[in-house]
Structures are given as structure tokens and as C-alpha cells.
Structure 1
């Protein structure tokens, strides 16, 4: 895979995906173009060898698959898991506030966002809106695209200790983005915000029955650094891995095993939702694939022959804070995929699954790196342990290296996307 082309395509993918719902829609659009067809969970399925389909749940999760030449109970699944959501600020159900003469948005922190990175940015709004009409509820994706609001910092003349003590933000008091100026005739700020959203979104304010909207930085992805070594963008964690999984599936050769990519919502808040990795979504879908091939009791056999790559971005060594890393495990940008291991099962990698992935990297002629969290710092986790426990299947946790994880704007290497996509393509082609 051409490294520049894949990196440019990743930027286009993320720019088209300001919310998890847009990410799923973009994945579905690309799958449609490649000959995949949507299935409904509410309908019966009839599947043949080579069939290519996908299922969407809750608009924020999508599972796509290509049936193998042999039945899943005979050859198992090759599955890549990732997540569509990223830490951000989300509008509350009553989204308007009046603050000192300003019309502000009332927001809630989603996930482990680095709050200070959201100030002084040109923010817009995206997500989904449910409209109530004569034919019932209708879901519409919304992306207002242009800069609409901003969380201004306090001038240093009013906060003299900010450089010494850091920017301290109360998530309830200090994160209301300024949207406009209010006058006494403007009335209820909630209605003012809903009216603005309706006007920009092209629907009637009184039709709005529900909102799932988030803020995002309107600055698009770009290259930076000497020789364009860096890729700068929002939501690299974890839309970069969604993109790699999708590229891997679309580039993979047909194989005996059934290839699956599962891109889940709500990983950043624990995965315990109807469309999260902790839900029955994946197990139910795999069971239905067995049933559709005439072997409804074959799931345990299939899982015993299966292998899952949990793909979530990894921590590259920081140029100024290498002391925060285990000195023997220092992943670098553009150094290739990172295998993540944790003795306390915060990552699902074990000796067998790590060895299998390293062998895949050798087959792909791609370098591989290792990450172990510092023993005296709490370690994050992924959907890997959830998948391993829920399915009883072999799982390896991997990711491309990055800096500024959970910032409103993150930093990765421009060569890493193609390397990860190539390895996942070989994996989904059935190569071990």
C-alpha cells in the first residue's frame, strides 16, 4: 500500500467523521461502493460463501463481514475490533445557557478528554437529530461544518498563575462555549439554540424530538514536520484504527476463514451500552452467521479456531516526557504497529497472540514495536479484554503509535497508517 495515499485517505476519512454516527455512515458508504450490502438485525438472513454484508446498530456501531470459502465452524473467524467514538464535549438535552449576556451551549464531558485542549478552538456541532413528523420519528445526521462557538481562555491579566499552576477547568462551570450574544428579547436560551440548530440543519425547530450532538474542532487533518513525517488530526484515537480495519477488509484476499471487522461505539465510556463492545452485538452476529450456514450449534467450534486483533492507538514516546514511559518499551512514530501487553489484563495480549501478530508483521515486511505501561502508573484499557472474556477467543491488543492521545487534536506518524492497514489486510486474508 502506498504510504502517502493511505495517509491522505485517512485524513479524508476522519474529516468526514466528526461524530461516531458520521464515522459509521462513512464506513457504510465505502462498503456499499465495494459491493457490501446492509442487513437488518430484525430480518432473517440467508448467506453463501463469499457473501459480503454489514450490520449497523444504534447508528454508532457497525460490523462488516465477508463469508469465507469454508463454514465458520471449520475455519473460524479473523476479526478486527476498533471503536468509533472519541473523547469530546456533548450537548445536553436542554442545550442552551445564558451566561453574562452570552448565549452559550450547555455541554457534558464525554470520556477522558484533556479539557484544556478544547479552549480557544473554532468549534462546530455534529451528530444526529431525531425529527418527529407525520410518518413517525426520522433520524438525520447533522454536521454544521462552520465555526459556531468557542471556549475562551481567561486573559493572563486576570489569571496570573496560569503558567505556573496550569489551566484548571471545572467541567461543570468552565466549559460552556460562547455561541452568541443575548438581548432581553431573545427569550429562552434553550429555544434559541434549538432554533439555530434547526435553521442551520434545515428542519423546523418544533420537529426536534431528540439530540445526540457533540462539538468538534473544525480544523481539518494535515501533514506537518520535515518530509511530512507527522499527521495531525482530531480523533486519531480511534478512527485511525477504524480506517485501518476497513482498508484491511477491502484489500484482503478471499480465504477459507470468515473475515469480520467490528467497530463499536462507547469504548471511551466503558463499552456497556446496546451498541458497545460489552453488548451481545458481536456474539449475536457471529451466532447468526453460523445459523445462516446451517450450523446453529457451531459457535464454540468456530471461536476455538478464531483470532481477534483489538486495534486501538498506542502511546509513542514523548519528546519532552520520556520519563513517563517504561524505558525498555519506547514506541516511536513511523516505527510500525505496537503490540500492547499488560500483566494485569488491561490488554488482552498473551504470549501466543503476541507471537502470531509479530509473525504477521514479518510476513507483511513491516516493523513491529512493543509497549508496556509504567508499573507505577494506572494503565488504560481497550475492547480487547472485553472481547476475550465475552467470546473466550484469542485476542491481541495492538495500535499505531501516537502523541497527544485524548486531545482535541492529536498527532501521529504519516507512515504508520499504511503499515497497520497492510498487516490487517494479510490477517483478514487468513494468513497467520
Structure 2
């Protein structure tokens, strides 16, 4: 074979490494940047799972979705009708009813809307060394040092003793105060931090928020810094110390998401794992008009702690929503546990979650032949888990093949990836919990840098390709 023939054979046989930017037409590039602007708005308004659920419902209603309660009163739904349900203000289901019977299966995408953060403890307020502080308990997998010496905002809900609900946000306005976890200066960090393993140097019990330093009363008054802080909370929200017991308050990075780079090709911001998938899933579903199979979008809470609790992917919420859809399309008498199970078994699903992009400064933790890269499109992750794929849903060759063919047909740039080298670490997604219902499922989402940090990084081209991929799957 001559050189030209060899090159032609390489082109034919070798898997091509594709950069999304290389395959975008100029008109599509404009769409990439427009979508990213909308994404940043969604991200900045969705810093907690409650806020994200509220944004999802608001956007759905704006596009003509009606609540499940309204649909049940109506008695039935017809093909192409749009229905939603919100569960405990932390989970959302959206459906565009298809032409095919629901018991024959749906096209389902599921993401999660919780992110790592610092939660206030139930008895958080105290004082020490003439400072008023708030004790926290970290949520999800964080690197503790990343949450020190950065401005933090407080978001959440308090249920007062009189039963009144108070939603608060402190630290997001231009003139708002912020909170901070202090760190140790390098001059004194030797024995207490720098001589220890990183996993031991930063203690969870020391991730406490500085919240004030003005006392209330003379120095003869005990606990006057704590009293001053509680008095401010009482003046503003009418709450007392005991009200923190019935509160869900989250300390999250203050400020808005930003463009990264002079070319503005990247988005940096808090909570992109996994609200980047929630946004692209939502946007794709809102643009789905007349699917053959019912298009179902699910948005769960609690994935970062194993999808536990009554708002995680292990809850009965999904099955109940599908049962209601069956009732609306087939009549109440036709709905049994078996028909719900059959609908789930026949469903095809994407677990919409991010993968880790290969960091140019830490290539050694990745196996480069099977690592995702920033800017190379939506990433299909056949399996997750750790060690010998423990805790993973391992997608079938048939289903991976079907998604690959779908993406190629719709000019969607895609890649594959694993979460680091074998035995390097690993992680899981909500895929395994949906897979237990018998459905075909594949992890699929963009790759991000600095995952689980307070400021994650994603490519605008990958956001766009993920949206396109989800839309093709729904449609």
C-alpha cells in the first residue's frame, strides 16, 4: 500500500477524536453562545434544589405544561399534551405525551438538582474569640479546603414556631454581606496542616461560618456576640434560636457564574454538577413537540449522598407519576402494578450526569485513551462505579450502539469517558437505581473541570451538544 492508501485506511478504521468547535457552522456557533447565556441565568437562580425545582416548573408552565392535579381533574390527556408534577419542592417530573402507548415504554432522561455544599446544623449559632459563628455539616463529596476563604451566601427555608415559612437568601445582592470559613495563614500551618495528609489536614468540624463580630450589650453580658447575631435574624425574619431546628439553610458560593477565557468559550460557576444536565434536559424537553414515544424528564434530589431519602431517585415519585400518566391515557381500570412495571421495563433512558474532563495539570489520574476532554462534545459513560465497576449500572452494547447511531444521525459531536484510572477512585450516578426497574439506561452528559469544587468549568460547545443530544433522544 502506498502512503495515500494507508492514510485512507487510517481514516476509515481509526476512531476520530472530534472537537465540537471544529464541526459547528457559523449559525450554530451563535446558538452555542445564546444557549450559554440562558444557562448562566438558570444556574444563578438555582443554587439549591428547591430553587432549581422552582425554575424548572416556572419554565415548564411558561411553555404550556399543566400540573398533574389539573390533568387528573380534566380526566384524560391526548398525544402531545404536556404535564408536570413537583414533589416536596425538590423533585420534578415533566412529560410530553407521545402517540405510542405509555406501557410500550417512554424515552426518559433523569438528572439531579442537588450539589455539594455546607448545610447549617440544627443548633448552629455560637460565639468564640469574640466572633459570632454558624456551625455547618458538609453535604456531598467536597474537598474541604476549597470552601475556605471564599465568599459564601446563605440560601434556604426556616419554619418558625408559629408554622410560618420563611425563605431567605443572604449574600447574592450587590450590597449584601457574605459569610466565610476562615483558613490558617501559611506561617502557622506547618504542624497543623502542611505536615498532615490532605485528607486529615482540614476537619469538617472546622468548616464554620464567620457571621459577625459586633456585640450586643456591655462586656458584663454573657454570649453577647451570639445574642447580637440572633437579634439580627429576629429583626429581619422574626426567628429565634429554636427555629433553626426546623430549617434547611445551605451555604453556597456567593456571586454569579462567569465566562472564562478571553474568547468566552467556557462557563465557570457553582453547581454545574449536575444542573448543567438539568438545564439541557429541561431545554430539550421544552422544545419537544410531537414525540412518538412519551418524552419524560425527571429531576431528582439527593444524588450527591447516594440518592437516598424521599426525594432521591429511589423514591416512589417516578412510579406514581407514570401510574397517573397511564390512568390519564388508558383509564383508571387499566392501571395495575404490572402495567407500571411493564412501562418501566420498556423504557429507554439516559442518566444525565457529568463526567470528569482530563485536566492538563493532572493527566496522571486519567487513562488518556478513555478519558473525556473538554470541548469534545457530550460524553457517553458506559459504566461508573469504583474498583471492579462496583456500584455501577453497566449499559448494554445494544443500547450504547443505538445512542451512538442516534447522535451520528443528528450531527452531534460525542465522546466516551471513564471517571479516572482503574482503582484511582470512582463514583456513581442515579443510573443504577433506574436500571433496577429493568429499563435500558446509559450515563450521558458533558465533561467538566474542577468537578465538585465551588467553581466548576464547562465548555459552551459541550453544553450545546448535550442539549442537541437530549433533544434528539426525546424527539
TM-score w.r.t. the length of structure 1 is 0.91
**Distance in 1 between the 2:395 and 2:226 partners?**
47
Query: In structure 1, what is the equivalent of residue 116 of structure 2?
Result: 87
Structure number with greater Rg is 2
Structure 1 residues 49-77: Cα deviation after superposition (integer angstroms, max 9, x where no partner): 23322111121111111211233124x21
In 2, the alpha carbon distance for the partners of 1:139 and 1:70 equals: 43
Name the SS for the 1:93 alignment partner.
Answer: strand
Q: Answer 1 or 2: which has greater helix percent.
A: 2
Structure 1 partner of 2:379: 338
1:217 Cα deviation after fit: 1.1
Q: Does the aligned pair in 2 maintain the 1:316–1:402 contact within 8 Å? A: yes
Unaligned runs of 5+ in 1: none
Deviates more, 1:254-263 or 1:32-41: 32-41
Alpha-carbon distance, 1:418 to partner: 1.2
Aligned to 2:335: 296
Aligned equivalent of 2:23: none
CA gap 1:266/1:368 in 2 versus in 1, 3 angstroms = same
The aligned counterpart of 1:425 is 471
How do residues 131-280 of structure 1 correspond to structure 2 at under 5 angstroms? 131-133=160-162, 137-144=163-170, 145=172, 146-160=176-190, 168-172=201-205, 174-181=206-213, 183=215, 184=219, 185=221, 187=223, 192-200=228-236, 203-206=237-240, 208=243, 210-280=246-316
Partners of 2:59 and 2:352 lie apart in 1 by 20
TM-score computed with the length of structure 2 as normaliser: 0.83
Is 1:98 the counterpart of 2:114? The answer is: no
Give, in angstroms, the shift of residue 164 of structure 1.
7.3
- 5 Å-filtered alignment, 1:33-72, equals 33-40=62-69, 46-49=75-78, 50-72=80-102
The residue aligned with 1:375 is 422
Which residue number corresponds to residue 8 of structure 1?
A: 37
Q: Is the 8 A contact 1:72 1:257 kept in 2?
A: yes
Contact 1:223–1:231 under 8 Å retained in 2? yes
Distance change >3 Å, CA 120–CA 11, structure 1 → 2? same
What is the CA–CA distance in structure 2 between the aligned matches of 1:268 and 1:131, rounded to whole Å? Answer: 28
Equivalent in 458, 462, 466 of residue 412 of structure 1 = 458
Contact 1:337/1:367 (<8 A) preserved: yes
Q: Distance in 1 between matches of 2:120 and 2:134?
A: 7
How many residues in Structure 1 have an aligned counterpart in Structure 2? 421
The answer on whether the counterparts of 1:237 and 1:406 sit within 8 Å (CA) in structure 2 is yes
In 1, Cα distance between equivalents of 2:177 and 2:369: 43
**Contact persistence 2:271–2:454 (CA under 8 A):** yes
Equivalent residue, structure 2, for 1:324:
365
- Structure 1 CA distance, aligned partners of 2:254 and 2:160? 25
Change (3 A) 1:344 1:359: farther
